[in-house]
Structure 1
Amino acid sequence: MLERIHLSVVAEVERQGSLTAAAEQLCLTQSALSHSMRKLEEQLGTAIWLREGRGLRLTQAGRYLLAQAQRLLPQLELTEARLRQFAQGQRGTLRIGMECHPCYQWLLKIVSPYLSAWPDVDVDVRQKFQFGGIQALQNHEIDLLVTPDPVQHDGLLFEPVFDYEQVLLVAASHPLVGREYLRPRDLAGETLITYPVPRDRLDVYTQFLLPAGQAPREHKTIETTDIMVQMVASGRGVAALPRWLALEYAGRMAVAALRLGRKGIAKQIHLGVREGELATDYLGAFVQLARAYPAAAGAGSSNGAG
């Protein structure tokens, strides 16, 4: 009754915006596509779409079918890809999702030894998701999620791999250099540079500025860490970064890392996986290797916060 082609049609019509474009994408004629969906509607006894002029609008049943298609199709595609890899003598591909912009450089230091240890496993890194990292993990779009902000969900596990401290990176000549720690009001006259992440996901706001009712003079976003640090070094703003990454840049550029608050902002990097999949040897091996790499990545600090 319900076949994979029906799921593909609903998903593709939603993506392309019309039956004609969906048919072309699926290498079907429009009449064949329409006939297949009419037959399904007759079998189910309910309509999938309602016509509105030249367009289509999903019914309640159609919206439910679309949600299932968006959940099931990635799983089917993954299953087929894995089976093809097994047929070719490969172990598979470890698909890593990133919800931590500055962690990309840390990840690169793990990927190299991992690929050497697992020559029959490929690695794919994804930083953008249609519905966010948690849902990408639930929907089998990725196998592992790197995040500083785990959210507990049924069927998911989050393994802590290392602690770190969020600090403020400033130019070496900045007047704040030399302070034992910063107070929220110290940022009132600053241009704060962050990654393009909503403010409710930025620790410098949620754990430092907002509880004190403070805000920076200006807020800019930059996607690339190197450019962000260049801006800081040139005196065009300040940026909140993990201490281990800030110290890496301070070793080769005119920047300094300052503590945010008397106790600092303590964080952890977690690796999220689906329940039961840590037993997959090459996935579990990546988690073990990640735990061994904080020191090599410069994550350690004298206060233990990382």
Structure 2
Amino acid sequence: MMLDRIHLAIVQEVDRLGSLTAAASVLHVTQSALSHSMKKLEQQLGTDVWLREGRSLQLTQAGRYLLGVANRVLPQMTLAEDRLRQFARGERGALRIGMECHPCYQWLLKVVSPYLAAWPDVDVDVKQKFQFGGIGALFAYEIDLLVTPDPLFKPGLIFEPVFDYEQVLVVAGKHRLASASYVEPSQLTGEVLITYPVTPDRLDIYNLFLTPAGVTPKRHKVIETTDIMLQMVASERGVAALPRWLVLEYASKMDVVPVRLGKEGIAKQIFLGARESDVGIDYLKAFIELAREPAAPNGAQSIG
């Protein structure tokens, strides 16, 4: 066969590492063997895969196409091998979950614990590096489920809503807005808004509340962890926007209060996304059903 798996792996590693030497080391082959393999492929194809520019290699148009194929095909082959090994060991499989929202991890723990008890032969792996890039990870077979409040409905994918939640403003108990029944966008012009490290165009507080009203906060501060964010809010260092249920959980431990965003509030949903071809898999379907259970929090976590 002209094109083999090793060719795809070589192109992928050379693109990632920038040199034949580094790629050869990772792939556990000699540099001369690697070079020979690729030269033979180029001769059979009748086109160059890359060109040398100084000390670096630059992919040609054919090489970039081959890299795209490698990025799509290699994860699927790895997954297939893993699944076949699991079958050989009598195991059901592994459920790889990507997170496209920051506080979702805390909700996920509430679902994973009973799920592992119910499915002892299924492993669960949570991949948080796919925050805000989960659709590509689903298509590339790098994850099996995507937890997201903002689904992108594309052919080949299916998104199941698992529960509703309300996005609210979080303020300190002594804050001037703490007793308000709801807040208007203009009331945040003098506030420091604390959010996760996400661009404003991916934040509900901007998209659905501030930006339509032409309002910006006094300052925008970024904090990575929910605990520190709410400690800052409780210390009157700023305000934040989070799911109501999450705020109520923390309200028992620190002095924070949820306030409705606008008279009607901001209603959202958490979705579990999967490849359409996988929705019939029993252990994947069971996870989605468990996530819908009433025991799940009455509300969920958004990227906002």
Instruction: Assess same fold via TM > 0.5.
Output: yes
How far the C-alpha of 1:131 sits from its partner, in A, is 8.2
The one-letter code sitting in structure 2 at the alignment partner of 1:79 is A
- State the SS of the aligned residue for 1:81: helix
Distance 1:206 1:191 in 2: 17
Comparing 82-91 and 261-270, the one that deviates more: 82-91
Distance 1:163 1:81 in 2: 35
Could you list the per-position Cα deviations for residues 158-212 of structure 1 after superposition, in whole angstroms to 9, with x for gaps in the alignment? 0001111100111011011111110001111111111111111100000000000
Could you list the per-position Cα deviations for residues 27-82 of structure 1 after superposition, in whole angstroms to 9, with x for gaps in the alignment? 01100000000000111111100111121110000000001101111111111111
Structure 1 residue 226 and structure 2 residue 216: aligned?
Answer: no
Structure 1 residue 117 and structure 2 residue 96: aligned?
Answer: no
Distance 1:15 1:37 in 2: 16
Aligned to 1:8: 9
The one-letter code sitting in structure 1 at the alignment partner of 2:128 is Q
Give me the TM-score of the superposition, normalised by structure 2: 0.96
- State the SS of the aligned residue for 2:194: strand
Distance 1:130 1:114 in 2: 23
- State the SS of the aligned residue for 1:28: coil
Give me the TM-score of the superposition, normalised by structure 1: 0.95
Contact 2:100 2:130 in 1 (8 A): no
Aligned to 1:303: none
Aligned to 2:175: 174
Aligned to 2:53: 52
Could you list the per-position Cα deviations for residues 119-161 of structure 1 after superposition, in whole angstroms to 9, with x for gaps in the alignment? 0000000111398100000110000000000001110000001
How far the C-alpha of 1:254 sits from its partner, in A, is 0.6
Structure 1 residue 103 and structure 2 residue 91: aligned?
Answer: no
**Cα RMSD between the aligned structures?**
1.3
Aligned to 2:216: 215
Aligned to 1:286: 287
Q: 1:241 to 1:95 in 2, by over 3 A?
A: same
Distance 1:85 1:296 in 2: 30
The one-letter code sitting in structure 2 at the alignment partner of 1:231 is M
The one-letter code sitting in structure 1 at the alignment partner of 2:250 is Y
- State the SS of the aligned residue for 1:279: coil
Comparing 276-285 and 126-135, the one that deviates more: 126-135
Distance 1:4 1:267 in 2: 43
The one-letter code sitting in structure 2 at the alignment partner of 1:276 is S
Contact 2:164 2:298 in 1 (8 A): no
- State the SS of the aligned residue for 2:182: coil
Contact 1:248 1:298 in 2 (8 A): no
- State the SS of the aligned residue for 1:128: helix
Distance 2:148 2:185 in 1: 25
Distance 1:147 1:272 in 2: 8
Distance 2:284 2:96 in 1: 10
Distance 1:188 1:102 in 2: 26
The one-letter code sitting in structure 2 at the alignment partner of 1:289 is L
Could you list the per-position Cα deviations for residues 237-292 of structure 1 after superposition, in whole angstroms to 9, with x for gaps in the alignment? 11100111111111221100000011111101000000031110000000000011
Q: Which runs of 4+ in 1 moved over 4 A?
A: none
Contact 1:161 1:271 in 2 (8 A): yes
Give me the identity figure in percent: 70
Could you list the per-position Cα deviations for residues 209-232 of structure 1 after superposition, in whole angstroms to 9, with x for gaps in the alignment? 000010111111111111111111
Contact 1:189 1:216 in 2 (8 A): yes
Aligned length: 299
Structure 1 residue 297 and structure 2 residue 286: aligned?
Answer: no
Q: 1:54 to 1:130 in 2, by over 3 A?
A: farther
Distance 2:245 2:223 in 1: 20
Q: What are the equivalent positions in structure 2 for 1:112-261 lying under 5 Å apart?
A: 112-129=113-130, 132-261=133-262
Aligned to 1:304: none
Contact 1:114 1:286 in 2 (8 A): yes
- State the SS of the aligned residue for 2:183: coil
